[in-house]
Structure 1
Amino acid sequence: MLSYIPNPLIIPVGLIVGMLIAAPVGPVNVLCIQRAIERGFWGGVAAGIGSVMGDGLIALCAGLGVGTVSGVVEAHRAAIQVIGGLALIAFGLRLYFSAPRVKMTSDAEAKTARLKDFAWDIPQTFFLTITNPGAVLGLFAVFGGVTTFVEVHSNVDVLLMVSSIVTGSMLWWITLSKFISRYRNRIDLHVLQILNRIAGILLALFGGVLIAEVILKAGHF
């Protein structure tokens, strides 16, 4: 019976890990922040949900001991990295050349906006998350390190840990999106255009680095 009672320390540790995973600036994080600036609170949350879902899926595989997943990622790392790099470059170029759109220009429009209005951002950031081999292997390593600090034995413990990590990451994105949406109306279209181009360049650079690493490892240069 005791095997069904989870370790209570898993919840606070999982929440902290989830926030730490979401906080560093990476390609997906740049895209999520840009969406919050351009589209407001629900735009940032929608992009964040996709990222959190990707991290949650990876954490679940790591927690259940699906070693074959990390093995497959490592075996096909080059192909996955190229696909992820091309996707980042495509997103970056589209963002760089697209005209800025401020969907919530007034309080009235902000109140009528809903999560479903930005639902298409969810699969986009989910795809970018799960096709980043560095993020996949990194999360496997983080999960392995955490489980040595907090005992995770049963499937109940694993599910609680994954749920806590997802909750922590989602709390981060909700808080950040709320903060950004509060001050985004102070940004005019010219500044937003500059921010879009900076975000587009960063995304394309991230993608280029991924592809360049594959080429260098292949010994072409």
Structure 2
Amino acid sequence: MNFNLYLKCFFIGLSVASAVGPIFVLTFNNAVWYGFSRGFATALGASLGDGLLFFLGLLGVLRLLGEYQSTLLVLDLLGGILLIALALRSFKGRQKYIEGGDLMQLDPISLLTKSFFLTIANPLTVLFFMFIGVRILPSGIHMVPFRQLVFGSFFAFLGSLSILSSVSLIASHLGNAINQRTLKIVSYVTGTIFLLIGIYFSVDFVSRLIDVIDLL
């Protein structure tokens, strides 16, 4: 087993999850409002997305897709829409701290699915793995055995999950210790972050679309 490669993969997972982006904020927000289990479901979905993107990055699929303007166009559009929708949900104040049996109404599978698709639709995350996938390999080696691809992606997943699950644990304790007014402030702050990043993706989408039209 190539432990050096797997250790690098683990730290790549750590680094991508440590960035205070939309997934980091979403995990924190869900754990503050709904408790550790819902925050962990969000973290798990995002980490699965990171593992998949890392796998595709090592395969070279992301680099191949990156040669087509339409790929990043679609990602910018999807990422922008998802983040702006999350921002509006936060601003409308639909969240409330849920206890007991009512918690079952907040489906962990839907949280996992949402964070997974938000991760793989994030152009910045895709570009990160597109860049890192070809640079993690030793000099002169352009391909690794499929088994090592799978294990490497698993370790990247573990690295990402270790950070995001820790965020969820810390945030869930904060949620139990602070009042509703403070929770509302957290919701508005996270909504603002989602909105700003969503606008950034939307502006980038328009910019790329103009470039494509100019080439026609």
Normalised by the length of structure 1, the TM-score is 0.84
The answer to whether the 8 Å contact 1:41/1:177 transfers is yes
**Is the deviation greater in 59-68 or in 190-199?**
59-68
Q: Which runs of 4+ in 1 moved over 3 A?
A: 67-72
Partner of 2:5: 10
Count of residues in correspondence between the two structures = 208
Name stretches of at least 5 consecutive residues in structure 1 with no aligned partner: 1-5
Cα separation, partners in 2 of 1:100 and 1:56, compared to 1, 3 Å = same
Structure 1 SS opposite 2:94? coil
The answer to whether the 8 Å contact 2:82/2:118 transfers is yes
Partner of 1:50: 45
The answer to whether the 8 Å contact 2:66/2:72 transfers is no
2:196 equivalent to 1:205:
yes
Q: How far did residue 96 of structure 1 move?
A: 1.4
Q: How far did residue 79 of structure 1 move?
A: 2.9
Within 5 Å, which residues of 2 pair with 1:16-27? 16-27=11-22
Partner of 1:162: 153
The CA distance in 2 between the partners of 1:7 and 1:19, in whole Å, is 19
The answer to whether the 8 Å contact 1:36/1:44 transfers is yes
Partner of 1:142: 132
Within 5 Å, which residues of 2 pair with 1:68-79? 68-72=64-68, 74-79=69-74
Q: How far did residue 113 of structure 1 move?
A: 6.7
> Which amino acid counterpart does residue 78 of structure 2 have in structure 1?
I
Q: How far did residue 117 of structure 1 move?
A: 4.2
> Which amino acid counterpart does residue 185 of structure 1 have in structure 2?
N
Partner of 1:188: 179
Q: How far did residue 199 of structure 1 move?
A: 0.7
The CA distance in 1 between the partners of 2:115 and 2:42, in whole Å, is 6
Q: How far did residue 75 of structure 1 move?
A: 3.3
The CA distance in 2 between the partners of 1:10 and 1:185, in whole Å, is 40
Partner of 1:120: 110
The CA distance in 1 between the partners of 2:206 and 2:165, in whole Å, is 38
Structure 2 SS opposite 1:99? coil
Equivalent in 82, 85, 91 of residue 86 of structure 2: 91
Q: How far did residue 54 of structure 1 move?
A: 1.2
> Which amino acid counterpart does residue 10 of structure 2 have in structure 1?
L
Cα separation, partners in 2 of 1:196 and 1:19, compared to 1, 3 Å = same
The answer to whether the 8 Å contact 2:24/2:164 transfers is no
